[in-house]
Structure 1
Amino acid sequence: MGEQPIFTTRAHVFQIDPSTKKNWVPASKQAVTVSYFYDSTRNSYRIISVDGSKVIINSTITPNMTFTKTSQKFGQWADSRANTVFGLGFASEQQLTKFAEKFLEVKEAAKLARDKSQEKMETSSNHSQESGRNTPSSNQVSSMNGTDDEKISHTPETTALKSENDRLKTVIEQSNSNAKKAETELQTLRESNARLIDALQEANTSLENWKTQTHNTQEENNTLKKKIAELELQCKEENQEKERNAQLTLRVQELEAELQDKEQELENLRKQAEIIPQLMAECESLTAKLQAAEQGSKDARGKVLALQSEVDDTHQKHTHIKTELKKFMDALEGKIDELHEVRQGLSKLGIDN
């Protein structure tokens, strides 16, 4: 019947980078069909995937292979014959689980097939050894009755034994050839396993280095975060200091303006102080005038008394004098008001000074 598919799924295919043995290289641009095939004639299993016209996976399953889940949606296995590591990325964890279960099932089937093949080889080898032991006895019998060549040429049983012996020799040679091939494949598998172990150790070393670098990077990141926090705090303090300096500058400007106002007031007071002697002189002059006016007022009152005594003498003279007196009294009251104002002004200047 040939090779038939027994399980099919879809996944993104990757291969390990052959130069670094660390990084994954995409083998397909999108999800492709990945199938398990069973070859009934050879009793073997393969995983095959084709992207367009390009075969990206052609891996024969052996009992030594192991499928490993590295995440919830990703798995991988190593193929020593192809000298690479295949990786599959699935759309869901269920698809990955089904593929892994099928891989284990196929692996067990390949193991059973190998065991049956070894049993057949051992049975054929034992049968050939037994035939080899029986052949000399036949020869001995034939030699007892005559020469070997004569008996073989004339005895049908001996001819059948010879053909059977030749067939067994051919089987033994084929078995030896298969054994050598198996040893060669086993040595190749061992070498590939050693390379894979070295690659795994190198990957583990790289992983440890990566972990160390990650830890160092995290520590550096934490240190940088602390420095950034300190710098932000310093910037905040500097901003607060700038605000305080701005406030102080504004206060200094206000004080300078107030100082200028005070200096202007002081200058005005100095000017007023220079005017005070002049005002004092004017005040003394006004005081003398006031005293003279008071004396004049006394004299006027005497005259009023004299004039009042003469009122009866002449009415016209009295009316005239009364008019003059009224004018004089008005002028006197004005002078007195001016004098009071001058006194109030002097008192105010004295208090301000």
Structure 2
Amino acid sequence: MAMKHTDHIQSLTNVLKACAQYNDDLKYKQPMGYMASVLLSYFDEEETFWMMNILLKEHGMRHVISGSMVPMFYHKTFGEEMGKHFPKLRQHLEGEGVHVIMYAKWIWDTMFVYILPADSISIVWDYFFWGSNGRGIEVLFKLTLAMMRILEPTLLQLRLPQFFTLMKRPPVDTLELVQLARGVVLSDDTIKILRDKHTALAMVDLLQQQQQAQQQHDGKHPDTSSSSSEPQANKVPHSALTSASTPIHDQEADDDIGEYDDDADSTDVMSSASLGGALNQQDSIDDDGHCPDTDHQQQQEQLEQEKKQEELRKHESLLRLKAEEEAAAVHSRKSSCTIC
């Protein structure tokens, strides 16, 4: 049993390191450990790696667990939707000082793994894969609303401390939860807001992929593939699963764990082409050990990279502003209709 547990820990370490390298912009996030641990109960390391890729990229979980402003946007939108379905419950929770971010974050980040029994998680995840259609956040909304419907009579009687005690292991039947979630209908306003946000994030991801492709073409990051599309040969990136011998020092860290890539051996990140180019540059190095042409080229590439990143940030800001303006417009129309 101890050997089996040790093997599972090593497999989990290998998968998380591979995901951190493959998703260079996301690196490692703590919720990834919960996801990978569940998937390893059903798949081997390589299959788990690709299933993680599907969750993070195709179903949008990368945005749910990211450290950006996107999760806060989702929390705010869910709070408004919850007020439409359970106005008394929302008023009671807010009166007790319980806000959406206090429970939705760790429920969504771990895809209900944190609060439901391990033997029932597969039922929830089956529904997630079946119903998300690339928009996992909508399924998370429905599952959470269904859980609130089951727990509403109890929650209305609880104060702040008892709320969190209950939510750590809520008395919910998983089959009933999924059945209710399938019947949840989100409001038109919420669906529009979520899908507009999904479109905006997809545009940002596309720009990032184009930028990374340009970097690869320029030889900046050979043999790395951060694009959301699968590699043509379906091969796991080099130095990922097959060379995951370096242990993860702190799996509780949220953002720093992926930074070990910067100190990795050059053989893990350089292709034979880049090595050949490095050898060819030796002829142009002067007596002081400098290569003027290479230094100038690197400076130009750095300036160009900074310019592209600035353009990307501006574009993302515009998309976020547009989404917020549309949300405000929807709220304004709703208010005016209510007044009428």
TM-score by length of 2: 0.27
More strand by share: 1
Higher RCO by CA contacts (8 Å cutoff, separation 6 or greater): 2
Larger Rg: 1
TM-score by length of 1: 0.26
